[in-house]
Structure 1
Amino acid sequence: MIGVETLTVEQLDFAIRHLRTHHEIIVSEWLDCAMIKKADPFYTEVMRNGKTTLYLLCQYLENPDIELIKDFTKKIAPERIEAKTDISEFVFNINSGRQIVHERIFIPDFGPNEQRWISLMINQFFDHLLYFAIKEFSALNDLIIENKNQFIQEMHNDRLTILGQIAASFAHEFRNPLTSIKGFIYLLGSELTPSPKTDYYTSIINSELENLQEKISQFLLLSKMKGLDDLISVFDLSACLHEMIDFMYPRFLEVKINLTANIAPDLKVEGDKNQLKQVILNILNNAVEELCDLPEERIIQVSAFLMGSRIGLEISNNGSQIPAHLLENIFEPFITTKELGTGLGLSVCKQIVEKHNGKIIVSSNEEQTIFSISLPQAQEKTS
């Protein structure tokens, strides 16, 4: 310490004896002003900790070793966590002890330099104590939060697993009756005398049954396991994209959407062609629905390209920005921006993409929302 003379051995011994003489008074005064409730489960231990603090201070004056301070904070920090002490109370209590020690350590026989040395050493000790105590306290709190988050995530995964099982059971129970209903509607239609009314009613029934079957298919696709009916093959994703754009073209015209496509040729992927078509269709449909009420020019952009050993696909629209609180969980089941949406479409997309060893992410700002998909490029088969 520059500009401050250290104490002689005799002066140091005298200062330590003086501190030990006031040991009980310091602890008592500290307990009176500290933020510690009588109901604190470690109340008795707190008194011991106060005495230990003074004992360590005396040792620090003789030999400034911070390892003992570190070890001590590993004891008191867990106690304060378990007692649900706020970190501000923790800091206040340590600084209260510092102030009381300063008040009681004044030694009339010491000159200004000796008294300054004592004060500096006390401050050093309490600074170390405060630093390591807060560090340990914060680390334990972070660990608790991490464990809670992990527990919540595990519960969430368990619920999704149960949801998948229920969805699969529900879908299978309803799919067969729907197939029968569709068949009998067809037979009934062939028996009825054709008329505009019967044709109109039959078309509505068939349309609604198609919608129900689509929702059932979405429930089935919520399962993360590869289905027995997956038709795996190597196919051209470029052709699939053009096919889906052509399929949606009447809808684009109806809603007056300006679509631009920049699709590289011969982008080969391996997987279930129909499932990846469903992903493209879902995202395009969502974009159209988002743009329906947009008063300005309505734009959808589709691009597909090769990036190393993977294929990139981006589908963007200039609709409203997805709110931040929804964006983070947009691929979770039942999360939707639509007033009457089920929140299954994007969840199904994510399941399908991940099942094909791919990734799907979304970004959204005031100008555009972009769904980005990355899939592994299919390896050429060697004979």
Structure 2
Amino acid sequence: MDQLKDDVISYLQEKKTTILERWDKKAMHPPDQTGSGQLSTNSVGRFILKVALHGLSLSKAELENYLQANAYKLAKIKIKDNLGIETLVYNVNMARNMLVDELYNYPAHLKKLEHIFSQLLNIIDRFTFHLISHYCAIKNQMNEEKNRHINSSHEDRLTLLGQMTSSFVHEFRNPLTTVQGFVQLLRAEYPDLPYMDIISAELDQLKFRITQFLMLSKKQVVDQEKVVFSLNDLMDQISAFVYPRLLELNVSLKQELEQNLFVKGVQEEIRQVIINIIFNAIEVMAAESSEAVIHIKGYRKDGKIVLETSNTGPKIPDHLIKSIFEPFVTTKKTGTGLGLYVSKEIIEKHNGKLFCRSNDDWTTFTIILNAYDKQEGFD
């Protein structure tokens, strides 16, 4: 190190108290800077001054590692102090300005000090760069760990809630079955008793919702037997099932199905999926003043059965289309966000696909399943 630089370092060391006093008046002081083993704002000034002056005495090879290590140390300490990065950078820049101001008072021609000015500014600039980098990296790591903890806790609560709800739904299904049985007896003994059709239809829909939830909550140890069945016949059954709801909310159902559409699977599960899609459509259109129409189109294409269920309800926002099949995502005010998630799980279990597209005119849910011929079920 040349003699002039050595003299400048000694001079700045002697003026350290003056520099820190001036710096302290302009630095930002957070309201709470207490804490065992933590640096106060004034100590930050001494820390930066020490780094800058020692850095002047180091070679280029030594300097970068020295700045990296000390920037990491300061960033870690000030994060624990909960000091914002903007305050920290401001205080470093103030220390930089105080050093430069004092250097102007050094008794030597400024021309001779140019290389020292340049080196000092570079040291503090590099230190600031590493300080910001380490601060952001540490902060991001802390946020990721916090989010992992929050997500883990949330998943644990959902698991517990799911177990409790599943138990409740199981208990609820037993008296529901009893009520349905007595409704059937009443209809047999008093066929003209009013409102029995409405009661029966509402109970069927409640049973459907319970079955839908249980399909999500229970673990299937052994897959149910899959058989080849007529999608046309299934759609006739579904139409009869949803008819009271369509009539109640003045929704038109139009069907356009090719003949002899056969698929292989668990018929009750496929039924659950289609009814869920239709009920969703009915509910989203219930509050609309415009004409409510559900159009179901079924056809065979390239060895697949395609079933498209379209409705004239409001457009699903673009940002929700990709997440509409995720659990607890719903566009309905009273929706659980589980129906479409369960539906997608069922269709994918049948080696099929379920997806959605939506525009201002129609929202369409498309089911694609492997096509079968009737006789294949008897081979």
Alignment TM-score > 0.5, same fold: yes
Hey, what's the Cα distance between the residues in 1 that align with 2:308 and 2:129?
Answer: 49
Match for residue 52 of structure 1 among 33, 42, 47: 47
Match for residue 290 of structure 2 among 295, 317, 328: 295
Shift of 1:277: 3.2
Aligned pairs for 1:114-263 within 5 A: 114-192=112-190, 194-195=191-192, 198=193, 200-223=194-217, 225-226=219-220, 230-233=223-226, 240=231, 243-244=234-235, 247-248=238-239, 255-256=251-252
Shift of 1:32: 3.2
- Contact 1:241-1:280 at 8 Å conserved across structures: no
Distance 1:274 1:371, change over 3 A: same
Residue identity matched to 2:45: G
- Contact 1:167-1:222 at 8 Å conserved across structures: no
Aligned pairs for 1:36-51 within 5 A: 36-37=29-30, 39-40=32-33, 41=35, 44=39, 46-51=41-46
Shift of 1:48: 4.3
Residue identity matched to 2:23: W
The answer to whether structure 1 residue 100 and structure 2 residue 98 are counterparts is: yes
Hey, what's the Cα distance between the residues in 1 that align with 2:4 and 2:306?
Answer: 76
Distance 1:9 1:372, change over 3 A: farther
- Contact 2:55-2:123 at 8 Å conserved across structures: yes
Hey, what's the Cα distance between the residues in 1 that align with 2:15 and 2:339?
Answer: 72
Shift of 1:191: 2.8
Distance 1:366 1:184, change over 3 A: closer
Q: Deviations over 1:239-282 (max 9, x none)?
A: 5488448844986897346667799x8876xx644223322331
- Contact 1:267-1:305 at 8 Å conserved across structures: no
Hey, what's the Cα distance between the residues in 1 that align with 2:71 and 2:258?
Answer: 62
Distance 1:205 1:277, change over 3 A: closer
User: TM-score normalised to the size of structure 2?
Assistant: 0.76
Hey, what's the Cα distance between the residues in 1 that align with 2:370 and 2:145?
Answer: 34
- Contact 1:27-1:50 at 8 Å conserved across structures: yes
Task: Give the match's secondary structure for 2:226.
Answer: strand
Shift of 1:328: 7.8
- Contact 1:300-1:316 at 8 Å conserved across structures: yes
- Contact 1:224-1:355 at 8 Å conserved across structures: no
Hey, what's the Cα distance between the residues in 2 that align with 1:127 and 1:351?
Answer: 55
Match for residue 72 of structure 1 among 53, 70, 91: 70
The answer to whether structure 1 residue 319 and structure 2 residue 301 are counterparts is: no
Q: Deviations over 1:289-339 (max 9, x none)?
A: 4345363795757689999xx999875555323357876875566654334
The answer to whether structure 1 residue 9 and structure 2 residue 2 are counterparts is: yes
Q: Deviations over 1:95-131 (max 9, x none)?
A: 1111111111224443343333233222211211111
Q: Quote the residue 2:340 is aligned against.
A: 346
Hey, what's the Cα distance between the residues in 1 that align with 2:271 and 2:101?
Answer: 78
Q: Quote the residue 1:25 is aligned against.
A: 18
Match for residue 277 of structure 2 among 283, 293, 309: 283
Unaligned runs of 5+ in 1: 1-7
Hey, what's the Cα distance between the residues in 1 that align with 2:21 and 2:339?
Answer: 66
Unaligned runs of 5+ in 2: none
- Contact 1:221-1:352 at 8 Å conserved across structures: no
User: TM-score normalised to the size of structure 1?
Assistant: 0.75
Distance 1:204 1:80, change over 3 A: same
- Contact 1:256-1:298 at 8 Å conserved across structures: yes
- Contact 1:189-1:202 at 8 Å conserved across structures: yes
Residue identity matched to 1:12: K
Match for residue 35 of structure 1 among 11, 24, 28: 28
Task: Tell me how large the CA RMSD over aligned residues is.
Answer: 4.3
What is the number of equivalent residue pairs in this alignment?
A: 363
Distance 1:93 1:214, change over 3 A: same
Residue identity matched to 1:255: V
Hey, what's the Cα distance between the residues in 2 that align with 1:30 and 1:241?
Answer: 83
- Contact 2:67-2:127 at 8 Å conserved across structures: yes
Q: Quote the residue 1:274 is aligned against.
A: 268
